[in-house]
Amino acid sequence: MAAPEFAVPVLEEFPAVPALQPGAMAHNKPFVASAPLNGALGFPGELPEDWQPRAIAHMGELLHKYRSLRVFLDSCVHCGACTDKCHYFLGTGDPKNMPVARQDLLRSVYRRYFTLPGKLFPALVGARDLTREVLDDWFRYFNECSECRRCSVFCPYGIDTAEITMAAREILDSVGVGHKYVNEIIGKVHKIGNNLGLPGPALHNTVEGLEEDMKDETGEDVRMPVDEAGAEVLLVTPSADFFAEPHVYSLIGYAKVFHAAGIRWTLSTTASEAGNFGMFIGNYEQLHKVAGRIRQAALELGVKRVVVGECGHAWRVAYSFWNTLNGVGAGGDDHYAQLLQKQLDPRYKQPSHICEVTWDLIRRGALTLDKEANDHRVVTFHDSCNVARASRMGDVPGGQFEIPRAIIRAVANHFVEMAPGTTHEQTFCCGGGGGLLSDELIELRVKGAMPRMAALKNVVDQHGVNFMAMICAICKAQFTKVFPYYGFKMGMVGGVHQLVSDAIRLGAKQ
Amino acid sequence: MSAASLFFALLFYFATVVLVAGVAAKVYEFARTPAPLKIPTTPAPTTTFGVVLRMAREIAFFESLFKSNLWIWVFGWAFHFALLLVLLRHLRYFTEPVWAWVVWIQPFGMYAGFAMAGAAACLWARRFLVERIRYISTPSDHLMIALLLGIAASGLMMKFVTRTDIVAVKAFFLGLMRFDWQALPADAPLYVHLTLVAGLMIVFPFSKLLHAPGVFFSPTRNQVDDPREHRHLAPWAARLDA
């Protein structure tokens, strides 16, 4: 690893709230999407002459479409409860990374054009004209928010900065100022079917290779079917699972679980991506279109269940939004929803998380597990933000915390929690979520990971933790990249189903 | 009737209309704007009754703020609870006969005035002393606390220092309510108090005081966590399914 061009934060046992360093991250900004990338999503190629009235008009439209935006822009009292809650602020000290200050970048413009005091006395209420400088600040600082919702836990009005960030990015896209990495990925999903641009034949090749590996390892014919009509389960997983490490070990884990339980399942080349970056840019049409591929695959393959692999924001979209977007769910009485919901098996939650499937099988004694296989590991669990604060698993609130932990305890003997206040609903983002996983943002990513790294260091020092399990493809990619900056080994990062994969015993019960 | 009495009579009619119509318009706007996606901050209740409880805890105890920061919670909660007691105590000036429970809470409401002023002063101090909060404070944030502090101080002044003819004040307000106008005592602290209160009523629908109705409409707090069981669809979003 080359020496970084920035100072990596020093990890303290109890990280202090930093003093303000105005402009500390002002140099940081993502690459702007090119005209073709924007055009592919129906956005203007570049900033048009009349961008300012267009941006304001678009804000007006969003105010009529999203109650969250309207209520959140009106309700903030500047109490300061959120000011020390954002990992990017804690890691950088840049005051514009305090959630309220980030929101105010947009709120100041809202006040100027949409409220009476802002029109009459802008200076008094902190209202600002939408200038090019303000727009540039939006592009910078709304791309320094991972939409992790940690601030929303602490806000007395439940103001969620993620909603503000999504609206701001949507407005930016509407005037041709897109984030290259994100818009490129959404384009790939439309064109090829997944974020990584992995075409169908490559997917077939990959899974064949993995099937051979599993045969060598277990002696069993564990299958990884693709596009098999009539399968019971359609597994939709982040495309990183197909070849990135350590993601692929979890994919192997899912295959072994289905094999051991005798569940007929399939992947789909149409729905070869669980992730949905449409959410990151707050664009409902993109969100809807990307989610539509899953609907299409489920209908074409005639599956009874849709199961989602280890991916944080994908699980948010699947759990919270799919029923709305593509009808994977229950209770729909309209034709669009019924068409799919009549096909899905009502005895199962639609969609289900792979952890719900695995935990259900473990509870019923359907899997043979050798916990000693993970005895060389001392495991901790990193709650991924979108799973923790924007979804659920199982039947009771908080199941998204308990079920992955229950699986870990069932497959490993040594499990340690990180400090309270850094896990469960108060978990810290990995630092690379929300579409910020691009190389040019590495300084932000390293610094934003600081709170999680500090919590991890404490359990590494005190309990010898050598494996951090998680259920998010972005977390996995981010941590394998930033761990070395903090002196941790990349191999400490892995999926919950990687642990399952190592512990599960296939074939005859022993 | 004096010009001052007439002025305050008209001012309070105006302030009341602005407050009621302004907040009603905002509430209508909040209510009519759809929430197209399920976005409760989880873990969230899975039933409507659970949401009622969550909201009740949020309103009565400031649950989220308590998780966040103990100092803001102590001052903020004390301020709001004191304000509530003070407001309830003031019902005696608008009702005849005065309800028994309003009589009963009079002493609490009186001393709550001190708590309200003290807590507002502490909240204001945070805007100067804590660097992060200093950074996010706008002039209107300072003015708002000044306004509230001024209301509390002028009120306490009339109660404990230069007593006002409160019987006449009550007659004035009952007169306003019955459209049978009465004279208002000519009294500086009273004029200050009433002017500031009317000012607060007028800015309410245009300011951050909208957090009061806003919190009830916050989708992260008021939504039931049941997206897999019920299809949640906004009218504008439903058109995309066609």
Residues A401, A299 share a domain:
no
Give the residue from A132, A155, A178 where a domain finishes: A178
Mutation pick from A64, A68, A385, A396 vs chain B, by most beta carbons of B within 10 Å, is: A68
Q: Which residue has the tokens 């009502």?
A: A346
Max CA pair span of chain B: 71
Q: Which amino acid is at A396?
A: V
**Cβ-Cβ contacts under 8 Å for B18 (sequence gap 6 or more):** B201, B202, B204, B205
Name every chain A residue with its beta carbon within 8 A of the beta carbon of B221. Answer: 157-158
Contact B37 A324 (CB under 8 A): yes
Residues A440, A299 share a domain:
no
Contact B229 A330 (CB under 8 A): yes
Residues A245, A144 share a domain:
no
3-state secondary structure of A369: strand
Q: What is the 3-state secondary structure (H, E, C) of A409-430?
A: HHHCCCECCCCCCCCHHHCCCC
Residues A329, A207 share a domain:
yes
Residue A188 inside a domain? The answer is no
pLDDT digits (tens, 9 = 90+) for A375-402: 999 999 999 999 999 999 999 999 999 9
Distance CA A373, CA B155 (A): 73
Residue A157 inside a domain? The answer is yes
**Cβ-Cβ contacts under 8 Å for B44 (sequence gap 6 or more):** A392, A397, B50, B51, B54, B223, B224, B225
Q: Among partner residues B76, B139, B218, which is closest to A71 by beta-carbon distance?
A: B218
The 8-class DSSP code of residue A263 comes to: -
Residues A203, A134 share a domain:
no
pLDDT at A507: 79
pLDDT at A508: 54
Q: What is the CATH number of the domain that holds A67?
A: 1.10.1060
Domains and CATH numbers, chain B: 3-35+68-217 (1.20.950.20)
Query: Which pair of structure tokens corresponds to residue A433?
Result: 């979520």
pLDDT at A5: 84
Whether A485 has a pLDDT exceeding 70, the answer reads yes
The 8-class DSSP code of residue A84 comes to: T
Contact B132 A334 (CB under 8 A): no
Whether A199 has a pLDDT exceeding 60, the answer reads yes
Residue A13 inside a domain? The answer is no
In 3D space, the residue among A369, A14, A415, A413 whose CA is nearest the CA of residue A402 turns out to be A415
Whether A424 has a pLDDT exceeding 80, the answer reads yes
Contact A79 B130 (CB under 8 A): no
The torsion angles phi and psi of A306, rounded to 5 degrees, stand at -120, 125
* B 201-240 residues with CB < 8 A to A: 203, 206-208, 210-211, 214-215, 217-221, 225, 227-234, 236-238, 240
Residue A192 gets the label, from left (phi > 0), alpha (psi -120 to 50) or beta, of alpha
3-state secondary structure of B79: helix
- Average pLDDT estimate for A473-483: 98
Residues A348, A224 share a domain:
yes
pLDDT at A336: 95
Tell me the percentage of chain A whose pLDDT exceeds 70: 99
- Average pLDDT estimate for A315-321: 98
Residue A12 inside a domain? The answer is no
Q: Which residue has the tokens 């099937």?
A: A211
Contact B135 A72 (CB under 8 A): no
Residues A255, A174 share a domain:
no
Contact B231 A329 (CB under 8 A): yes
Q: How far is CA B204 from CA B85, B155, B194, B197, in A?
A: 19, 20, 15, 11
The torsion angles phi and psi of A234, rounded to 5 degrees, stand at -100, 120
In 3D space, the residue among B56, B218, B114, B235 whose CA is nearest the CA of residue A68 turns out to be B218
Residue A499 inside a domain? The answer is yes
- Average pLDDT estimate for A423-429: 98
pLDDT digits (tens, 9 = 90+) for A51-92: 999 999 999 999 999 999 999 999 999 999 999 999 999 999
Residue A204 inside a domain? The answer is yes
Q: Which amino acid is at B61?
A: F
B165 CB within 8 Å of a chain A CB? no
Residues A404, A304 share a domain:
no
CB-based burial label for A409 (10 Å; 0-12, 13-18, 19+): middle
Alpha-helix residue ranges (DSSP H) falling in A192-319? 200-218, 247-261, 284-301, 312-316
Give the residue from A178, A205, A238 where a domain finishes: A178
Name every chain B residue with its beta carbon within 8 A of the beta carbon of A157. Answer: 211, 214-215, 218, 221
Name every chain A residue with its beta carbon within 8 A of the beta carbon of B234. Answer: 65
Residue A461 inside a domain? The answer is yes
Q: Among partner residues B62, B132, B210, which is closest to A75 by beta-carbon distance?
A: B210
Q: What is the mean pLDDT of chain A?
A: 96
Alpha-helix residue ranges (DSSP H) falling in A262-305? 284-301
Q: Among partner residues B41, B139, B229, which is closest to A123 by beta-carbon distance?
A: B139
B146 CB within 8 Å of a chain A CB? no
- Vertex A300 angle, CA A296 and A301, to 5°: 120
The 8-class DSSP code of residue A3 comes to: P
Contact B140 A351 (CB under 8 A): no
CB-based burial label for A478 (10 Å; 0-12, 13-18, 19+): buried
Q: Are A65 and A472 in contact (CB under 8 A)?
A: no
pLDDT band at A4 (very low <50, low <70, confident <90, very high): low
Residues A229, A164 share a domain:
no
**Residue in A closest to B229 by C-alpha:** A330
In 3D space, the residue among A469, A505, A510 whose CA is nearest the CA of residue A222 turns out to be A505
Name every chain A residue with its beta carbon within 8 A of the beta carbon of B61. Answer: none
* B 45-74 residues with CB < 8 A to A: 45-46, 58, 62, 64-65, 67-69, 72
Q: CB-hemisphere CA count at 13 Å for B195? A: 11
pLDDT digits (tens, 9 = 90+) for A220-273: 999 999 999 999 999 999 999 998 999 999 999 999 999 999 999 999 999 999
Residue A378 inside a domain? The answer is yes
Whether A3 has a pLDDT exceeding 80, the answer reads no
pLDDT band at A510 (very low <50, low <70, confident <90, very high): very low
The 8-class DSSP code of residue A296 comes to: H
Residues A229, A172 share a domain:
no
Number of folded domains in chain A?
3
In 3D space, the residue among B51, B35, B43, B30 whose CA is nearest the CA of residue B224 turns out to be B51
- Average pLDDT estimate for A214-218: 95
Distance CA A41, CA A59 (A): 19
With a threshold of 0.90, tell me whether the complex ipTM lies above it.
Answer: yes
* B 74-113 residues with CB < 8 A to A: 76
Give the residue from A331, A355, A379 where a domain finishes: A355
Contact B208 A19 (CB under 8 A): no
Range of the domain at A456: 368-503
Name every chain B residue with its beta carbon within 8 A of the beta carbon of A333. Answer: 231
Q: Are A97 and A141 in contact (CB under 8 A)?
A: yes
Residues A313, A221 share a domain:
yes
Whether A509 has a pLDDT exceeding 50, the answer reads no
Contact A78 B208 (CB under 8 A): yes
Residues A329, A446 share a domain:
no
* Ranges of chain B with pLDDT below 70: none
The 8-class DSSP code of residue A4 comes to: P
